Structure 1
Amino acid sequence: MAVLLSTRNKLALTAVCLAAMMSGLEISSVPVILPILEKQIHASFTQLQWIMNAYTLACTTVLMATGTLADRFGRKRLFLISITGFGLTSLLCGAANSPSLIIFGRFLQGMSGGAMLICLIAILSSQFPPGKARNTAFTAWGVVFGFGLGFGPMIGGLIVALASWQWVFLIHVVIAIITGLLAYKNVEESRDHENQQLDVGGVVSLTATVLSLTFYITQGGQIGYLSDRGLFIVGIALLCLMIFIYIERRHPHPMFDFTVFRNRAFSGALLGSIGMNFSFWPFMIYLPIYFQTVLGYDIVTAGLYLLAYTLPTLLMPPLATRLVSRFGAGKVIPSGLLGIGIGFWLMYFGLHGTIGVLPGAVVAGVALGLTNTPVTHTTTGALPANRAGMASGMDMSARLITLAINIAMMGTLLVAGVKLALCEALPAENSMQGLQSLAEKLAGGENSLPPALASVAREALISGFSGVLLYGAAGVCILALASHFLFNFRVKSALGRAEIES
């Protein structure tokens, strides 16, 4: 790197990598403190879900708009604004003393984090010339971002052990100050003078669709999935979705150009993005609860055990690149998704056996590592160069939307499974409302129960996690088959015709 990059570009790359590390840490370090938030600030299970989902939903809100705004007003300027916003909103989260205030802070933090992520990618593309310098810069960014994601659970656990849960957020204030100073001095300003018109209608309608659907999944157990209010929310989601499709089909510069789905390589890879975030990443939100509540590990030990799930994702990309060169993305991506599904099946059987979930967690992590890089390269490389920005935005949006929906879905299934097991194990005189409340507390990490309930609660949680793992395994396996079909169906048809003609 020393030979390829000037001193200014090295310092600019340091700023970009620090911003990437903040983004990765904020996604993966927060799940380990959820059980602590349940105890110390009395956050309900639904509020814990929203603490995670507020961030991903807000990222999705700004994702597609940020690129256009950065092109118009300056990438460095928007990068500095997003870094400042991330630091201030991290301070707000760390100073919060109620679940509602943390959720509000997390939403604002997600908007800043999403803008920061898009800006740093644009800066890498504009400041570093094509060739070795740009490849070095993107490699460094990817490694640091992966480090934040992979080691986030352990770092979060260590921060809590040495200080308090507040510092899981407050640490970003310090990093943001350093990042901002480096970026101000060394990042070059750049603009696109032929920038396209902002698709405001598409942004608003897509956000409303995802927010309505997530609210319905998260709150459906309380308001009733088939109640008038529940069905009204579903109607709003469908209406917003139709408005979004209408706008995108008529906008001169749509954020989602539906014609690109005719490209089978792009569509197959996009299913890879959806598959990874259907099961692997949302389950990481709940896995710390299993380690801490079911197995009784402290927060540091739980963070170390989570490395079995996240660390393989950092080690596999070089192998994935070689496999794609030899077999093609059309084979590697569906196989990787199938591997995630196998990992989830192994975790499911491990819940009820002696091996535990670690072997399955390792398999799922390895499979994720083999899938992620080919997916990113294929979504951006399958379309013409002038559509690479839109392809990247669609890829990231697919990931975050799927993640937000499945955080809610897995949480709903976890509570439902725990409640069903409690209904079978506890006396019939317990009210359904009381069982629902107990199920939500257990799913949120509550473990201060009377000894008579402790064993029942543990078995109920295992039952709940079984349902979540079955959902994740079945869903990602179906997506693997769909991805394989999109990648390979036309090839097989052509071969079949050739054999008939010969």
Structure 2
Amino acid sequence: MSSNVSSTNLVALAAVCLSALMLGLEISSIPSILPTLEHVLPANFKQLQWIMNAYTIAMTTWLMAMGALADRYGRKRIFMVGIVVFGIASLVCGLAETAPVLIAARFLQGTSGAAMLACQVAVLSHQFRNGRERGTAFGWWGIIFGIGLGFGPIVGGLIVTLASWEWVFLVHVVLAAATLGLAHAGVEESSDPHAVRIDLAGMVSLSVAVFCLVYLITQGEGVGTGNPPGLAMAAIGLVSLVIFIMVENRVVRPMFDFRTFRTRSFSGALIGSGGMNFSFWPFVIYLPIYFQAVLGLNSVTAGLTLLAYTLPTLVVPPFAERLLLRQGPRVVIPLGLFLIGIGFILMRLAAVSDQASWLTILPGCILAGIGLGMTNTPVTNTATAAVPVERAGMASGMDMSARMISLAINIALMGFILLLGIHSHLESLAGGGQVADFRSLAEAIAAGNLGAGIGGDIGLEAARSALIQGFSWVMLYGALSALGFAAISFVIFGARNAKPLQAGGL
């Protein structure tokens, strides 16, 4: 950051980064404490799923609405309200004694997290107008967000080991208080002067549509005549989506402006946002299972090995932002997605080999992490720079919605593909016969319980082979998704958008 950046902007950057750290930690640190919550609350398997998913569902549902509210009532105001509510929700999470209370508090966390996330990018876009300073600010934002996501599993495990599960949530009460003070001192108020009316119909219809979609995917609900609730949820979601599209194409100041897709740089950036979450981020949830169940690493060693996957995402963004300034998004964003795809191919080759170990899988992990670092902040910087600065809240909301929706979808899809690969291997082992309760056995193996193979009469080594095949399918899916999105983004950007990022726009 150059020396002429005001101290106020530096304080604002600190507030944005600290809030990003909290959001990242609350996504990735919770899986490590689920076994503890199962016993202390207690919570059944369905409740544990909701403890994990309530946060993501709420954030995805409300993200666009929060961006619209920030444009209308002020980014600083909505940002600070989000921080306060996030702190209160974290306190309730830490004090919860039953699973339903924790689930409700997690939903409130996700809602307030949506407010913070929608405002983070808008604040950076407003207070960092110079191209180089803007790139550096977005680079630091990406690094800190990445620290929260990448180190969350280790942080959660250490807190449970050294203190208790409650402090995984209570620590955010302290962090929220510090963030609130920084935001009050450093963040400048900004809004969209043209946003004189709230797009209430758009907010409600999109929120309902997204909630129905994410709920169906994460809960594995069928949409057939044999499942009336699932069919009703799908119908409500589809009707809400149609209403949303109709409303947004008629209102004067839509919160989701479909006209922005005419700007190639904006469309290409959103493709990049989706591409990362069709591959890299959902896989971070499943990769520890491979490390522990297949490679036999303990939780500490697995967490340290996982850093090879996440650490590059922390150090690469500043380089990526400088490259964005020189080469433009058409080079940087497709290149990042391409590297993610090649990284997944290398991981798959290592996973299925007879010499598979943590050493052989590291090159693929590192390359995928580098690719993510090349893509993560440039897509947001490009998307917000492609629209007028007063519409930054809307643009950041669309960008983050693309990320969160694709993340929620692909967590479920990767889980489904993992089960499908395991199930296929179990069927081949049965040789046309029947293994008792294939689905429950596949679910147990997918969770890393290879001992279930003994109970299922297939043996420990056969269960391990089934899990390896499941992961090979998931890695192939991640590779093809990243490479496909890389090609699509390259075409959408077009030669006219190969120019570097300029101060305040493309």
TM-score normalised according to structure 1 size: 0.84
Match of 1:83 in 2: 83
Match of 1:407 among 407, 411, 428: 411
User: Where does residue 445 of structure 2 map in the other structure?
Assistant: 442
Listed one character per residue, the Cα deviations across residues 160-182 of structure 1 (whole Å, up to 9, x for unaligned) are 33223332222212222333344
Q: Which residue of 2 aligns with 1:497?
A: none
Is the contact made by 1:216 and 1:233 (CA closer than 8 Å) also made in structure 2?
yes
Distance 1:102 1:342 in 2: 40
Q: Secondary structure at the match of 1:152?
A: helix
Cα distance in 1 between the residues matched to 2:165 and 2:445? 20
Moved more, 295-304 or 67-76: 67-76
User: 1:99 and 1:269 mapped to 2: Cα distance?
Assistant: 39
Which residue matches 2:501? none
SS of equivalent to 2:148? helix
Q: Once the two structures are superposed, what CA deviation does each residue of 1:112-170 show, in whole Å capped at 9, x if it has no partner?
A: 11112233444455667868887776555444333323333332332233223332222
Secondary structure (helix, strand or coil) at the match of 2:277 reads helix
What count of residue pairs does the alignment treat as equivalent? 489
Which stretch shifts more, 60-69 or 5-14? 5-14
More divergent stretch after superposition (202-211 vs 450-459)? 450-459
1:267-286 superposed matches below 5 A: 267-286=267-286
Q: In 2, Cα distance between the equivalents of 1:74 and 1:384?
A: 16
Measure, in 1, the Cα distance between the counterparts of 2:44 and 2:291: 19
1:90 & 1:491 partners in 2: Cα distance?
Answer: 43
Distance 2:190 2:208 in 1: 32
Partner in structure 1 of residue 476 of structure 2: 470
In 1, Cα distance between equivalents of 2:294 and 2:483: 27
Is the 8 Å Cα contact of residues 345 and 473 (structure 1) preserved in structure 2? Answer: yes
In structure 1, what is the equivalent of residue 243 of structure 2? 243
Distance 1:98 1:225, change over 3 A: farther
2:374 aligned partner:
370
1:153 paired to 2:142 = no
CA distance in 2, matches of 1:476, 1:131: 28
The gaps in structure 2 that reach 5 residues or longer are 499-506
Give the deviation of 1:250 after TM superposition: 1.0
Structure 1 gap ranges (5+): 493-502
Structure-1 residue corresponding to 2:504: none
1:459 lines up with 2:459 in the alignment: no
- Give the aligned partner of residue 492 of structure 2: 486
Cα distance in 1, alignment partners of residues 123 and 57 from structure 2: 24
2:197 paired with 1:170? no
Structure 2 counterparts to residues 169-208 of structure 1, below 5 A: 169-184=169-184, 194-208=194-208
Relative to structure 1, is the Cα distance of residues 37 and 61 closer, same or farther in structure 2, using a 3 angstrom cutoff? same
2: CA distance between counterparts of 1:361 and 1:2? Answer: 33
Q: Partners in 1 of 2:279 and 2:117 — Cα distance?
A: 23
Shifted more, 363-372 versus 323-332: the winner is 323-332
- The equivalent of 2:103 in structure 1 is 103
Residue 382 of structure 2 corresponds to residue 394 of structure 1: no
Which stretch shows the higher mean deviation, 177-186 or 250-259? 177-186
Q: For the residues of structure 2 that align with 1:327 and 1:130, how far apart are their CA atoms? A: 17
AA aligned opposite 1:273? S
Change (3 A) 1:385 1:72: closer
1:215 is displaced (CA, Å) by 2.8
Shift of 1:10: 5.4
- RMSD between superposed Cα atoms in Å: 3.4
Residue aligning to 1:266: 266
- Change in Cα spacing, 1:2 to 1:267, as seen in structure 2 (3 Å) is closer
Cα 1:196–1:408, aligned 2, differ >3 Å: closer, same or farther?
A: farther
Residue in structure 2 matched with residue 340 of structure 1 by the alignment: 340
Letter in 1 for 2:468: I
Distance (Å, rounded) in 2 between the aligned partners of 1:491 and 1:394: 20
Q: Distance in 1 between matches of 2:179 and 2:224?
A: 45
Structure 2 match to 1:496:
none
1:470 Cα deviation from its structure 2 partner:
2.0
CA distance in 1, matches of 2:430, 2:303: 32
Q: Which has the larger share of helix?
A: 1
Q: Distance in 1 between matches of 2:102 and 2:445?
A: 21
Rounded Cα–Cα distance in structure 2 between residues aligned with 1:263 and 1:2: 31
The superposition leaves residues 201-253 of structure 1 with CA deviations (integer Å, 9 ceiling, x where unpaired) of 22222222222223333344x64767453555443333222121111111211
> Deviations along 1:18-48, whole A, 9 cap, x unmatched?
2222122222323444455567667666655
In the alignment, is the contact (CA less than 8 A) between 2:60 and 2:210 conserved in 1? no
CA distance in 1, matches of 2:218, 2:168: 25
State the distance in 2 between where 1:326 and 1:193 align: 33
- Cα shift readout 1:357-385 (whole Å, capped 9, x = no counterpart): 32211111111111223322222223344
Structure 2 counterpart of 1:28, one-letter code? S
Report the CA distance shift for 1:130/1:358 in structure 2 as closer, same or farther (over 3 A).
closer
Distance 1:45 1:417, change over 3 A: farther
Contact kept, 8 Å, 2:122 with 2:396, in 1: the verdict is no
Asked whether 1:308 is paired with 2:308, we answer yes
CA distance in 1, matches of 2:174, 2:482: 38
- Cα pair 2:194 2:253 within 8 Å, conserved: no
In structure 2, the CA distance between the partners of 1:358 and 1:313, relative to structure 1 (3 Å rule), is same
Which range is displaced more, 144-153 or 258-267?
Answer: 144-153
In 2: Cα distance, 1:143 partner to 1:5 partner: 19
Most deviating of 273-282 and 8-17 = 8-17
SS at match of 2:253: coil
Greater displacement, 263-272 / 453-462:
453-462
Rounded Cα–Cα distance in structure 1 between residues aligned with 2:255 and 2:467: 41
Cα 1:369/1:49, change in 2 over 3 Å: farther
CA distance in 2, matches of 1:91, 1:292: 32
Higher mean alpha-carbon deviation, 402-411 vs 130-139, is at: 130-139
Residues 164, 412 of structure 1: CA spacing in aligned structure 2 closer, same or farther, 3 A cutoff?
farther
Are the counterparts in 2 of residues 32 and 299 from structure 1 also a CA contact under 8 Å? no
Aligned residues of 1:80 and 1:184 also touching (Cα < 8 A):
yes
Offset at residue 105 of structure 1 (A): 2.5
- Contact 1:4/1:132 (CA < 8 Å) preserved in 2? no
Partner SS for 1:255: coil
1:281 aligned partner, one-letter code = W
Paired amino acid for 2:408: A
Give the direction of change, closer, same or farther, for the CA distance of 1:92–1:309 in structure 2 (3 Å limit). Answer: same
User: 1:279 Cα shift?
Assistant: 1.1
Q: Cα offset for 1:259?
A: 2.0
- What SS does the aligned partner of 2:249 have? helix
Q: Which one is further off, 184-193 or 113-122?
A: 184-193
